[in-house]
């Protein structure tokens, strides 16, 4: 009789169990590979994962004041559900199947407002995806939403927009996440999505990645298409991954790299894109590598960042690298000067004419007339308006045709050849992230602006530790044109050998 009653009790308890209850998913530091393993094992679905990220964003983004996201994708759950159905029926996963993606607010995305941080573009929803967005969708991503950015990508210092306000650094909310891709940086760092997209005109992938303990790839200018991205200076612009691991960033690069007829500069990539980049993920990739330390960029450096750099050099040596310190580029200072061209007025007018097509918004003057921007952005717009119609005192061409850019690049690559180095390293920033209210005076040590935007060379940043106040710092790795395989190998080996990345702790008041 006792056994019978026990059996009845078990049946009753079992009937009360909600077998449809969603699983509790640990979102902390989930990688693409881990998520795909979970899908294969049936641990959870893309729909459940997407909902978990949405719930986390709702719980922490605005309540903590982080303010990483501009808007969410109302179709995200349905898109994930369709991907789940596809996998059930086919048993085949796409390269990024069901991987939740955060997209910077300057990538054209069908059905989602694309405003580049400006209220003047409020309500603009493109009818075509940017090339990189399209390729990532084809690979199976689920777009969670759009991230905040420095308005018009003007600021490497901080991330503030008239469309969404100010984004904070998740590691220390009193500090900046850098700019202009600070929303993507803060969001991916805070585990609001698995992977993210940023853009980099001078700093804006690598700066926020450095400030948020992320991996940021600025690939060779010409390896990936900029079609459908709101430009700052198209001659310098690159779009690419901002992720928590080198492997995840590499998986994203595999999808977006290659020739796009809509962006002529990518023709230079033909014949230079390998059959996949994951093959270069080698934990022993520093063994026998020769690494140069570009000391000309560390003459003014915060003592804590200097200490982190010294440790990084020691770590690379212990992982098998031969370090050349200092690595010297003859005439570096002279070659690096006078490389910028203020081309925003022309580039934004072309973008507005091709994609937005509003009679009320065609020029920089129209943007100024609309108003609503900060004093910082206003001063930038005024500067650009003054440039309209002014004669150019120098050529302002692409990385493969501008003689000043070519000379700078050739000097660096010739010095690399002479020293026999595979890659060059330096801090992504020589100083820790500034305080939010000190982003003007506190903007110090941004090394990302100096080389890669002008030479076109690839430059990656990976976490190299933290300074006081739990503030992340990044190590930048520069390579020869289209030498992404070498940079992936070096960055991955350093990452795997040091494991500096750790998630921020977000607390509700």
Q: Is residue 8 part of a domain?
A: no
Q: How many domains does the chain have?
A: 1
pLDDT of residue 395: 83
What residues act catalytically? 104, 180, 204
**Alpha-carbon span 141 to 78, nearest angstrom:** 12
Q: Is residue 504 part of a domain?
A: no
The Cβ-side half-sphere exposure at 446, using a 13 Å CA radius, reads: 29
Longest dimension (CA), the chain: 99
Name the one residue in this structure whose structure tokens are 């962006």.
263
Pairing relationship of beta strands 215-218 and 160-161 according to DSSP bridges: unpaired
pLDDT of residue 391: 81
Q: Which residues contact 489 (CB under 8 A, 6 or more apart)?
A: 280, 281, 282, 285, 289
Pairing relationship of beta strands 142-147 and 100-104 according to DSSP bridges: parallel
Residue 2 has pLDDT above 50, yes or no: no
Distances (CA, A) of 67 to 61, 211, 216, 358: 5, 16, 20, 29
Q: Is residue 219 part of a domain?
A: yes
Region 152-161 average pLDDT: 98
pTM: 0.95
Region 265-285 average pLDDT: 98
| 243: CATH | 3.90.1300.10
Q: How far apart are the first and last CA of the chain?
A: 55
Q: Is residue 381 part of a domain?
A: yes
Q: Is residue 131 part of a domain?
A: yes
Residue 14 has pLDDT above 70, yes or no: no
Q: Which residues contact 233 (CB under 8 A, 6 or more apart)?
A: 201, 340, 341, 342, 343, 344, 347
Region 133-153 average pLDDT: 98
Average model confidence (pLDDT) for the chain?
A: 95
Summarize pLDDT for 213-227 with one digit per residue, the tens.
Answer: 999 999 999 999 999
Residue 365 has pLDDT above 70, yes or no: yes
Contact predicate 220/456, CB 8 Å: yes
**Alpha-carbon span 413 to 310, nearest angstrom:** 24
pLDDT of residue 5: 35
**Alpha-carbon span 308 to 313, nearest angstrom:** 9
Region 281-308 average pLDDT: 98
Residue 509 has pLDDT above 70, yes or no: no
**Alpha-carbon span 76 to 30, nearest angstrom:** 18
pLDDT of residue 21: 74
Contact predicate 416/478, CB 8 Å: no
Pairing relationship of beta strands 423-427 and 290-293 according to DSSP bridges: parallel
Nearest by Cα to 227 from 299, 142, 131? 131
Rounded to 5°, angle at Cα 495 from 197 and 145: 20
pLDDT of residue 15: 37
Residue 326 has pLDDT above 80, yes or no: yes
Backbone angles phi, psi at 176, to 5 degrees: -80, 155
Q: Is residue 360 part of a domain?
A: yes
Summarize pLDDT for 367-425 with one digit per residue, the tens.
Answer: 999 999 999 999 999 999 998 988 877 889 999 999 999 999 999 999 999 999 999 99
Here the tokens at position 416 are 């690399």
Could you tell me the residue range of the domain that residue 171 belongs to? 32-498
Summarize pLDDT for 195-215 with one digit per residue, the tens.
Answer: 999 999 999 999 999 999 999
Q: Is residue 234 part of a domain?
A: yes
Q: Is residue 37 part of a domain?
A: yes
Region 355-360 average pLDDT: 98
Which helix (H) or strand (E) segment holds residue 161: the answer is strand 160-161
Q: Which residues contact 179 (CB under 8 A, 6 or more apart)?
A: 149, 150, 153, 154, 155, 156, 157, 158, 159, 160, 203, 204, 207, 208
């Amino acid at each position: 009789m006792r056994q019978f009653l026990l059996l009845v009790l078990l049946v009753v308890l079992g009937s009360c169990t909600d077998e449809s209850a969603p699983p509790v998913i640990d979102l902390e530091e989930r990688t693409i590979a881990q998520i795909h393993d979970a899908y294969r094992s049936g641990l959870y679905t893309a729909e459940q994962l997407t909902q978990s990220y949405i719930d986390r964003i709702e719980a922490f983004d605005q309540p903590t004041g982080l303010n990483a996201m501009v808007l969410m994708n109302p179709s995200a759950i349905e898109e994930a559900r369709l991907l789940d159905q596809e996998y059930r029926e086919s048993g085949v996963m796409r390269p990024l199947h069901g991987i939740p993606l955060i997209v910077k607010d300057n990538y054209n995305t069908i059905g989602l407002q694309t405003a580049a941080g400006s209220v003047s573009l409020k309500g603009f929803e493109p009818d075509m995806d940017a090339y990189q967005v399209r390729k990532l969708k084809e690979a199976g991503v689920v777009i969670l939403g759009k991230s905040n950015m420095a308005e018009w990508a003007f600021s490497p210092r901080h991330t503030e927009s008239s469309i969404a306000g100010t984004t904070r650094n998740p590691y220390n909310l009193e500090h900046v996440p850098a700019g202009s891709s600070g929303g993507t940086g803060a969001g991916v760092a805070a585990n609001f999505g698995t992977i993210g997209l940023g853009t980099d005109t001078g700093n804006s992938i690598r700066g926020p990645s450095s400030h948020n303990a992320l991996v940021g790839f600025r690939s060779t200018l010409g390896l990936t298409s900029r079609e459908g991205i709101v430009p700052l200076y198209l001659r310098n612009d690159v779009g690419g991954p901002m992720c928590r691991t080198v492997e995840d960033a590499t998986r994203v690069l595999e999808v977006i790299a290659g020739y796009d007829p809509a962006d002529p500069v990518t023709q230079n990539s033909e014949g230079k894109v390998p059959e996949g980049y994951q093959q270069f993920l080698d934990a022993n990739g520093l063994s026998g590598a020769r690494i140069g330390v570009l000391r000309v960029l560390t003459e003014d450096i915060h003592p804590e960042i200097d200490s982190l750099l010294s440790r990084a050099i020691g770590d690379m040596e212990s992982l098998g690298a031969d370090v050349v310190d200092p690595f010297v580029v003859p005439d570096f200072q002279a070659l690096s000067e006078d490389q910028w061209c203020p081309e925003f007025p022309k580039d934004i007018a072309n973008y507005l004419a091709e994609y937005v097509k509003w009679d009320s918004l065609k020029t920089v003057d129209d943007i100024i007339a609309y108003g609503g921007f900060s004093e910082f952005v206003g001063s930038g717009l005024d500067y650009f308006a003054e440039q309209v119609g002014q004669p150019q005192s120098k050529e302002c061409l692409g990385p493969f045709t501008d003689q000043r850019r070519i000379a700078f690049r050739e000097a660096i690559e010739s010095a690399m050849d002479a020293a026999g180095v595979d890659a060059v390293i330096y801090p992504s920033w020589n100083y820790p992230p500034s305080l939010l209210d000190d982003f003007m005076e506190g903007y110090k040590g941004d090394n990302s602006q100096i080389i890669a935007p002008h030479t076109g060379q690839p430059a990656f940043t990976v976490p190299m530790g933290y300074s006081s106040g739990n503030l992340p710092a990044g190590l930048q790795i520069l390579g020869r044109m289209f030498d992404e395989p070498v940079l992936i190998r070096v960055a991955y080996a350093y990452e795997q050998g040091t494991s500096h990345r750790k998630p921020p702790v977000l607390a509700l008041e």
